[in-house]
Amino acid sequence: MPRISALDMPDVPMGQLPEHLELQRTRVLCGADAPTHTEGIQYSGAYASMEVDIGLRIENFCRDFRIDVIRLTEDEMEFDMVGIDVALANAFRRIIISELPTMAIEKVLMVSNTSVIQDEVLAHRLGLIPIEVDPRLFEYISENDSPNEKNTIVFKLHVSCKRNGPRFTVKSDQLKWLPKGSELEMETGVKSSIKKKYTSFSCGQDTLPELSSKPIRVKHDDIIIAKLGPGQEIELEAHAVKGVGKTHAKWSPVATAWYRMLPEVVLLEEVEDEMAVELVNKCPVKVFDIEDVGKGQKKVVVSRPRACTLCRECIRGEGWENRVALRRVKNHFIFTIESVGQLPPETLFTEAIKILEDKCDRVISELS
């Protein structure tokens, strides 16, 4: 890049940033060795000498922020969050993973387990099975609360393998929901005509309006719990309660929630003919395509910039950094939520917004 005297440079227009500063502020530049300009600038006085205010203003946020849903299935959603800072995007990710409540098996009462799997390992495997039920219908249970129809879900598992039969695979569809609560009697050590159970249900959960139309069940029927040999048996009762992922991963409602900045692939000069073919073959995810411009000439076009993974293969080699520029847009995030099944992904995101809103309200109330 040729050197230019400061006296020969044009005057900087007031109220807007020069092109190179605007590029550094809004883009992460990805070179062959490392990315640059990765930091975010939100300080309102950073460009005060140019009369540019880049501070966070609520009116600017309401004007610029938007969400565009790209793909939505039963258990997965991909959407774009535009006009938001990375700190807020990461807050949503952390809330979805660790602060959204679900129902998961917490207590396992073993009656009989003659399989090769230890009781603790079996209980852990049961806890990781997703339960298809809306956790908003239930309450949290504390140490002083007794298990009842509003805070506990009870499942029963009783399977065995015949002595002369083949090995038997125990799957999650053999977990049976007990809407009336526990069927096991507690050993109190006191003789009484009234037998006490492990739960105190005042009514059957199947009689509740919100559960009568959609019985509680496991989300996936084909999860392998154990394999029994001839003569082996498992009999147990499992109690599911409400919790959050930061207590234990079994309560996390997602397999994963993640985001990445929107890739931006820019051709700095025309890439034609043999070099065009070379560039197309360099990219493993086929970001580039060849366009026929007539008279036997070909040139490269950027056809799928969103698919770029920043492997940087296209800018490796002599001279390629002068032909192709790889960037990331700092305030445009591609967000993906993969639900494990308790709640649809769009509901998980709206619930995360409510939790963040409650946190903001608490901070405001503490400061006021």
Question: What pLDDT does residue 44 have?
Answer: 75
pLDDT tens figures, 162-178:
998 899 999 999 999 99
Q: CB of 123 within 8 A of CB of 147?
A: no
In the three-class reduction of DSSP (H, G, I as helix; E, B as strand; rest coil), residue 236 is classed as: strand
* pLDDT for the residue numbered 193: 61
**Angstrom distance (rounded) from CA 278 to CA 52:** 43
Domain ranges of the chain: 24-100+252-368, 101-251
Superfamily of segment(s) 24-100+252-368: RNA polymerase, RBP11-like subunit (3.30.1360.10)
Beta strand pairing call for 233-243 and 102-113:
antiparallel
User: Residue 341 gets which letter from DSSP?
Assistant: S
Q: Please, which residues have CB within 8 angstroms of residue 156's CB and are 6 or more apart in sequence?
A: 175, 176, 178, 183, 236, 237, 238
Query: What whole-number distance in Å separates Cα of residue 349 and Cα of residue 366?
Result: 26
pLDDT at residue 60 in the model: 83
**What is the pLDDT at residue 269?**
92
pLDDT given at position 307: 94
For residue 189, the model assigns a pLDDT of 63
Contact 259, 96 (CB under 8 A): no
Burial of 272 (0-12, 13-18, 19+ CB in 10 A): middle
Q: How far apart are CA 182 and CA 238, in angstroms?
A: 9
Task: Let me know: does 226 contact 115? Beta carbons within 8 Å.
Answer: yes
Residues in CB range of 218: below 8 A, 6 or more apart: 129, 130, 131, 132, 172, 173, 175
pLDDT at 10: 64
Give the up-direction half-sphere exposure of residue 187: CA atoms within 13 A in the CB hemisphere. 2
Asked whether 228 and 157 are in contact (CB, 8 A), the reply is no
Distance CA 91, CA 335 (A): 12
Q: What are 7's two structure tokens?
A: 């006296």
What is the torsional sign of CA 354, 357, 363, 368?
negative
How is residue 222 written in tokens? 């084909």
pLDDT at position 190 is: 65
157 forms beta bridges with 236
pLDDT for 4 equals: 64
Residue corresponding to tokens 């009697």: 185
Nearest to 145 by CA among 101, 207, 200, 108: 200
DSSP H or E stretch at residue 155: strand 153-160
CB atoms within 10 A of CB 225: 21
Nearest to 235 by CA among 114, 125, 118: 114
CATH number for the 101-251 domain, one of 2.40.10.10, 3.40.50.1000, 3.10.450.50, 2.170.120.12? 2.170.120.12
Residue owning tokens 């298809």? 132
CA distance 52 to 145: 58
Mean pLDDT by 10 residues, the chain (368 residues): 60 73 89 86 77 81 92 96 92 96 96 95 96 94 92 96 92 95 81 78 90 90 95 96 96 95 94 91 93 85 93 91 93 96 94 95 92
For residues 198 and 152, give the distance between their C-alpha atoms in angstroms, rounded to a whole number.
Answer: 11
